[in-house]
């Protein structure tokens, strides 16, 4: 009994945010994920490393189950896995909880006075806005325009989607702005709808805003002359027959 008392007073406590304790389910975290978060945080605060065998003994879960829950936390953007090298040169894996804290801050509305571009940078995404040198909207302009039209801050996943438009799809900033305008005019504000428009323009090999404006004028003229007909887009994607309810 004396040994138990000694361990109780000497092993210390683990600090848990009262807000997270009350709202972890609102953030999308399950009970099992939250319990593992507490176990991981306790180890990092006291041992500075992760020992799944110890957690397995405490929780009754197998190491495979623990790895599955860790993967769930990573997939839900609650944690990042970080590779570290200790003094002996051995590489170990640690846990970074900053994505979870970003979610908490966003939920609390602390970001309400910051721009989308600033939030991307706060999550470790660094980019150089050179587009303005070519009379193009900058990335920050695009992030903020989308938030302005959506009337709300973009989520972390949405921020990443827009970032991918630049880095993976290589959509032009002025085309993204024009596609956003199309979405506003069609009362179909969703990133999926905007991306569908951008892909359609890419397939049509448009090179300038004049190409877009020419199509827009042609479409308006057609609608005026044929009010009962719905025009079709000559691509694999039909923008005018999209099921907007699913966007």
pTM, two decimal places: 0.43
SS3 state of residue 180: helix
CA dist 246 and 157 (Å) reads 18
> What pLDDT is recorded for position 32?
93
pLDDT less than 70: residues of the chain? 1-12, 47-48, 84-87, 89, 91, 106-134, 227-247
Cβ–Cβ < 8 Å for 128, 162: no
Q: Please list, in sequence order, all residues whose beta carbon lies within 8 angstroms of the beta carbon of residue 52, skipping any fewer than 6 positions away.
A: 63, 66, 67
Cα(24)–Cα(139) distance, integer angstroms? 32
Judged on CB neighbours under 10 Å (0-12, 13-18, 19+), 105 is middle
Q: How many CB atoms lie within 10 A of CB 205?
A: 7
Task: For residue 42, give Cα distances in angstroms to 14, 29, 37, 77, 245.
Answer: 5, 18, 8, 20, 45
pLDDT score at 188: 86
Task: Give me the pLDDT at residue 73, please.
Answer: 92
Residue 64: what pLDDT?
A: 92
What count of residues does the chain have?
Answer: 247
Tokens standing for residue 188? 């179909």
Residue 116, pLDDT score: 58
Bridge partners of 81, per DSSP, are: 95
What is the per-residue DSSP string for 36-85? Answer: HHHHHHHHHHHTSS--HHHHHHHH---HHHHHHHHHHHHHTTS-EEEEEE
The predicted structure's pLDDT at residue 165: 93
φ/ψ of residue 109, rounded to 5: 80, 15
Residues contacting residue 26 through CB under 8 Å, at least 6 positions apart: 107
pLDDT at 242: 38
Q: Are 95 and 75 in contact (CB under 8 A)?
A: no
């Amino acid at each position: 009994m004396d040994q138990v008392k000694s361990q109780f007073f000497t092993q210390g406590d683990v600090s848990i945010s009262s807000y997270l304790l009350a709202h972890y389910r609102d953030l999308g975290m399950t009970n099992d994920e939250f319990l593992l978060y507490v176990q991981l945080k306790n180890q990092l605060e006291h041992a500075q490393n992760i020992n799944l065998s110890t957690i397995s003994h405490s929780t009754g879960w197998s190491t495979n189950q623990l790895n599955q829950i860790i993967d769930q936390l990573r997939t839900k953007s609650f944690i990042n896995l970080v590779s570290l090298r200790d003094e002996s040169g051995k590489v170990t894996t640690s846990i970074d909880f900053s994505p979870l804290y970003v979610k908490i801050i966003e939920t609390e509305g602390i970001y309400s006075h910051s721009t989308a571009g600033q939030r991307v940078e706060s999550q470790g995404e660094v980019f150089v806005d050179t587009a303005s040198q070519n009379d193009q909207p900058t990335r920050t302009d695009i992030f903020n325009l989308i938030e302005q039209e959506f009337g709300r801050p973009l989520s972390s996943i949405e921020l990443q989607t827009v970032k991918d438009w630049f880095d993976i799809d290589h959509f032009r900033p002025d085309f993204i702005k024009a596609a956003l305008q199309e979405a506003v005019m069609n009362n179909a504000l969703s990133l999926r709808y905007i991306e569908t428009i951008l892909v359609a323009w890419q397939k049509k090999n448009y090179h300038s805003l004049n190409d877009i404006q020419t199509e827009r004028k042609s479409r308006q003229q057609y609608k005026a002359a044929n009010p009962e007909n719905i025009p079709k887009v000559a691509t694999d994607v039909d923008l005018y027959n999209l099921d907007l309810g699913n966007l």
